[in-house]
Copies of this chain bind each other. A is one copy, B any other.
Amino acid sequence: MSVIFSKKCEYGLQAILYLASKKDKQYFSAKEIASDLKIPKEFVSKILQSLVANGIIGSKKGKNGGFYLAKKPNKIKLIDIVEAIDGLDVFKSCVLGFPNCSSDVPCPVHSEWGKLRNMAYEMLSSQTIDRFVEKTLKKLSKL
């Protein structure tokens, strides 16, 4: 096995993109998010709760309540969601799992991997989710 992001993070990203791509209503319940994205309701529900705690989304309790983006889509970077859920350790720690990996005491593949890692970080930091609305709608229509 090997993953870039945890399932939590994957589902979190999906859910945020989902919210960003919706305009028709104000609140979207965990139930309909889960059902539209075809992911486990109880699980995504927990993830959404943690994103509320992180201030990326907001929630409204009670009937007809649900979740909504707390910021404008063009103010939410992909990395914000990753950071909120998985943290930024992947972008800091050693690919090979060597302890103490740094430019002073680099692991064997340090310089090669470092470039890739920086590019990934750069991409996730520069792209805001408004950029993905259209593509999300297309993908959603085919789930």
A61 proximal to B (CB < 8 A)? no
* A82 vs chain B, min Cβ distance (A): 8
- Specify which of B6, B99, B139 is in contact with A98 (CB 8 Å cutoff): B139
The interface stretch among A26-34, A48-56, A64-72, A108-116 is A108-116
- Specify which of B14, B95, B123 is in contact with A97 (CB 8 Å cutoff): B14
Interface residues of A in 107-136 (CB under 8 A from B): 107-110, 112-113, 116, 119-120, 123, 127, 132, 135-136
Interface residues of A in 14-42 (CB under 8 A from B): 14, 17, 38
Known contacts A139-B98, A142-B100: does B17 contact A108 (CB below 8 Å)? yes
Known contacts A96-B10, A97-B10: does B139 contact A107 (CB below 8 Å)? yes
